[in-house]
Amino acid sequence: MRQNSNIPKERGLDNTLNILKEGYLFIPNRMNLFNSHIFKTRIMGQKAICITGKEASKIFYNPDLFQRKGVAPKRIQKTLFGVNAIQGKDGLAHIKRKSLFMNILSQKEEEKIGRLVKEELIKSIDKWEHMGEVVLFREISEIICYVVCNWVGICITREEAKTRANDFLRMIYSFASVGPKYEKGKKARKSTERWIENIVEDVRNNKIKVGENSPLYKITFYKDTDNKLLDSKMVAIEVINTIRPIVAVSTYVVFAALALHTNPHCKEKLIKNEDNYYEIFVQEVRRFYPFTPFVVAKVKQNFLWNRYEFKKGDLVILDVYGINHDPQIWNEPEKFDPERFKNKEQDLFDFIPQGGGNPAITHRCPGEGVTIKITEVVLDFLLNNIDYHVKEQDLSYPLDKIPTLPRSGFIMSNIKRKK
């Protein structure tokens, strides 16, 4: 058979609108239809190759085969990532910048953030007891924002954390939108960049003192591959690349609360914490619930995979959501079952809710540890520190909306401190 002739191809001049319509299921729907691990389509006016499965993940995270420069559309850079930030770097420039993030997000710092979030949660109980109803998504995003800004080295009050959290959430929840919602995301990024840029300049001019171990200090005085400091705007962008995704953990926290609510049989196991149950429960939350739909890269050099010749410059989309629900990897993938992680060997390519490969070398997320830590801490709090009621509410999360979230944000009422 001739190369490339056996690859399913989606009809239509451009299928960008179908992504918006089908969201997380855009790639899985077509993989099922074509019974394939690969198909060709057209997205944003160009040819794109969608791939899925563990083997696809292995090639996608081979830095010799793929690059990120020039991949993220400007509309995503102007809301979610920031222009010219780490996500679009390759080779040495990427590895050097990545080492900065790996250093900032050490295990010790993950533990520290977890402790600080727990302390703030405990302090919130009195207020929550008097609130009647608490929307978990809102409250936890403000708590995380307060904790993380101060941990980074930017002092803010609990009151200010409310508006700042809102801006970080706008950057996260607007990038795939159009119209006013997208414009709000862009505005939120602009004003947050300006705010942090001014702080960075004050740190450089010695008007503000920050600890040498703080992420703000480390990023402000980090030297790039040219041995020069980053300009203050780029520092602000990478500081936002540290704070914003930690605020985004609020989404997994809400999914974890939902998982606890819909799987009450897990409560006893969590309380006993046998077999590291907190950890396996959170891993299952990251597998089962949708967050990252897919990741995108460009072919760096021609290569052959699955009888298909990938050509330099081709756009390739890896199906993260589909791989989390791939029946060839997961037994009964549509069942929420933390125990599946009990004896699972670590694999860098088959469980990739936050990207794959070795995070020091590939674009895999450096924040998995802190994501797991914060989610575990909040679960522990919900189980052991308070009693609460979950009234009838719309807990559905639309799969055609990227990123998604339970519609109600998880409303808790009648909150009481556990004696």
Q: Tell me the window of 160-168, 221-229, 351-359, 376-384 that interacts with ligand HEM (CB under 6 A).
A: 351-359
Residue 145 vs 249, nearer CB to ligand HEM:
249
Nearer to ligand HEM, 152 or 203 (CB): 152
Shortest spacing between CB 75 and ligand HEM, in angstroms: 17
What count of other Cβ atoms lies within 10 Å of the Cβ of residue 17?
Answer: 10
Nearer to ligand HEM, 101 or 278 (CB): 101
- Taking CB under 6 A as the criterion, the residue among 138, 170, 300, 363 binding ligand HEM is 363
Binding-residue pattern over the window 88 to 107 for ligand HEM, x denoting contact by CB under 6 A: ----------x--x---x--
DSSP state at residue 359: T
Distance between CA atoms of 77 and 179, rounded to whole angstroms?
A: 17
254 burial type by CB count under 10 A (0-12 exposed, 13-18 middle, 19+ buried) = buried
Sign of CA dihedral 186, 75, 172, 189: negative
Which of 386/402 has CB closer to ligand HEM?
Answer: 402
Q: Shortest approach of ligand HEM to residue 332 CB, angstroms?
A: 23
Residues 6+ apart with CB under 8 A from 179: none
What's the token pair of residue 33? 């239809």
Output 215 or 338, the one with its CB closest to ligand HEM. 215
Q: Which listed range, 22-30, 195-203, 302-310, 359-367, lies at the site for ligand HEM (CB under 6 A)?
A: 359-367
Tally of CA atoms within 13 A in the half-sphere of 48 that contains its CB: 26
Q: Give the residue closest to ligand HEM by C-beta.
A: 367
Which residue of 152, 199, 280, 370 would you call a contact of ligand HEM, by CB under 6 A? Answer: 370
Contacts of 169 (CB under 8 A, 6+ apart): 141, 247, 248, 250
Instruction: Please tell me whether residue 355 adopts helix, strand or coil conformation.
Output: strand
Q: Could you tell me how far CA 243 lies from the centroid of its own chain?
A: 12
Q: Tell me the closest approach of the beta carbon of residue 338 to ligand HEM, in angstroms.
A: 18
Closest to 214 measured CA to CA, from 199, 230, 234, 226: 199
Nearer Cβ to ligand HEM (1/92): 92
**Residue 245 lies near ligand HEM (rule: CB under 6 A):** yes
Kindly state whether residue 246 participates in binding ligand HEM, applying the rule CB under 6 A: yes
Instruction: Verify binding: residue 291, ligand HEM, rule CB under 6 A.
Output: yes
In the DSSP assignment, the letter for residue 222 is: -
Q: Check binding of 248 to ligand HEM (CB under 6 A).
A: yes
Using alpha carbons, select from 352, 160, 156, 145 the residue that is nearest to residue 246.
Answer: 145
Instruction: Return the residue of 26, 137, 175, 252 that touches ligand HEM, per CB under 6 A.
Output: 252
Q: Per CB under 6 A, which region of 116-124, 139-147, 247-255, 257-265 contacts ligand HEM?
A: 247-255
- Report the residue number, 188 or 365, with the smaller CB distance to ligand HEM: 365
Give the nearest distance from C-beta 274 to ligand HEM in angstroms: 27
354 touching ligand HEM, by CB under 6 A: yes
The alpha carbon torsion through 66, 70, 73, 78 (nearest 10 deg) reads 120
**Shortest distance, CB of residue 207 to ligand HEM, whole angstroms?**
26
| Closest CB 294 distance from ligand HEM, rounded Å | 9
- Dihedral Cα 360, 366, 370, 375, nearest 10 deg: -130
Helical (H) or strand (E) element with 315? strand 315-318
Query: Per CB under 6 A, does 154 bind ligand HEM?
Result: no
Q: 413: which residues sit within 8 A by CB, 6+ positions away? A: 132, 133, 134, 388, 389, 390, 391
Distance, in Å, from the CA atom of 354 to the CA atom of 199, rounded to the nearest integer, reads 30
What strand order describes the sheet that includes 133-135? 133-135, 411-417, 386-389
How many residues sit in the footprint of ligand HEM (CB under 6 A)?
A: 25
Q: Which is nearer to ligand HEM, 71 or 131 (CB)?
A: 71
Using CB under 6 A, which of the segments 6-14, 179-187, 366-374, 382-390 binds ligand HEM?
Answer: 366-374
State in angstroms the smallest separation of the CB of 295 from ligand HEM: 4
- Contacts with ligand HEM by CB under 6 A lie at 86-87, 98, 101, 105, 241-242, 245-246, 248-249, 252, 291-292, 295, 353-355, 363-367, 370-371
